[in-house]
Amino acid sequence: MTDIVTMVASISEFPTVEETDAILNELRRLSRDAATTKLIDDLLELRSLLGESSRGHAPSSESTRVPQPYPTVPDGPPAE
């Protein structure tokens, strides 16, 4: 958990896709409880929005999940 806190503390504004992936990789090492699962879900949502903005697309105001090539979460629900 300390590694995640250090990573997040070093980010000044929005994380890059690479920083988000690194945080997701650290979260995968933690036990699966409701809080960890919510953090992973929220980061995956943020990652999809970061992917859209890096391709020059403005994120829509309506929350939609766009399939992205992101790290899978072992023992978790399949990615949408």
In a 10 Å sphere around its CB, with 0-12 CB exposed, 13-18 middle and 19+ buried, how is residue 33 labelled?
exposed
61-77 pLDDT per residue, tens: 444 454 555 555 555 55
Q: Which range is least confidently modeled, 1-5, 28-32, 42-46, 71-75? A: 71-75
**What crossing angle do the helices spanning 2-9 and 17-28 adopt, rounded to 10°?**
170
- Domain hosting 22: range is 1-80
Domain count, the chain: 1
pLDDT of residue 24: 92
Q: Which residue has the higher pLDDT, 27 or 53?
A: 27
Whether the full predicted model's pTM is greater than 0.75, yes or no, is no
